Amino acid sequence: MNQDKVYQYLLSVKEERGGGFLVLIDPDKTDEKEYLSLAEVSKDCGVDAILVGTSFTLNTNFTSAVQNIKKVTTLPVIIFPGSFAQITPHADAILFSSLISGRNPAYLIEEQVKGAPLVKRTGIEPIPTGYMLIESGSLTSVQYISHSSPIPRTKNDIACAHALAAQYLGMKLVYLEAGSGAKQTVPLEMIRVVTDYIDIPLIVGGGLKTPEDCNTQIEAGASFVVVGNELEKGNNFDFLRELTVATHLKESMVV
């Protein structure tokens, strides 16, 4: 896809379907056969795009994983990087994110400085994203690795201020992240308040386990939801279809 096409595609998904569903594949945590099967059926199950990312690259060649995923799907494949080392030309786009909820310079700007020339060289589309960790009841991988504190669940004003700063800095998306394996999802009230406060789309992820979880977060104002962990437990494609149907509000209303 050409520059800015993936972002425009995501906006069209939100407009036409009422909400978007993104699958997160972590090639370090999932058997290759399983995640390729998941990628292959994702479009038919109603998935709108595939995120690929991992905290580490202990068990896999990240570039090869992305390349193989691209071979089995026509959906946009978007890097959700744990570090600049996960930038590869085989993806369509990258969430070029800054961990704006934290104060660790490595994830505010240092990784981005290292990664920017690679993004330019590969020609993949950067989607500037304000990434925010939200308290979820457990110590998550990204919280541990980034040495940053999440925004407290009850501090909607802090979340709003950070999200608005992301918008004013020119970012195109805000991502509220409860974290992989979160005990609690991002609070619905926080989603409502932040959505009302900013003018750019909101992605919400972490701890989503049921179709109802996806539906309520879209109803609260999220433009996109991300599910990863629940889909690592085996290829239950009927369950995946239930998740996407619950997310696509406008299609659900038509039915």
- For residue 241, the domain's CATH number is 3.20.20.390
Per-residue tens of pLDDT for the chain, all 255 residues: 456 999 999 999 999 999 999 999 999 988 999 999 999 999 999 999 999 999 876 767 999 999 999 999 999 999 999 999 999 999 999 999 999 999 999 999 999 999 999 999 999 999 999 999 999 998 998 999 999 999 999 999 999 999 999 999 999 999 999 998 789 999 999 999 999 999 999 999 999 999 999 999 999 999 999 999 888 777 789 999 999 999 999 986 654
- According to DSSP, residue 153 is labeled T
Residue 112 structural domain: 5-254
What predicted TM-score, i.e. pTM, was given to this entire model? 0.96
Residues in CB range of 161: below 8 A, 6 or more apart: none
Give me the number of domains the chain comprises: 1
- Answer for the pair 222, 202: CB distance below 8 angstroms, yes or no: yes
Length of the chain: 255
pLDDT tens readout for residues 61-95: 999 999 999 999 999 999 999 999 999 999 999 99
Alpha-carbon span 53 to 25, nearest angstrom: 7
Per residue, the 3-state secondary structure of 49-118, as one string, reads EEEECCCCCCCCCHHHHHHHHHHHCCCCEEECCCCHHHCCCCCCEEEEEEECCCCCHHHHHHHHHHHHHH
What pLDDT is attached to residue 255? 45
Alpha-carbon span 255 to 190, nearest angstrom: 29
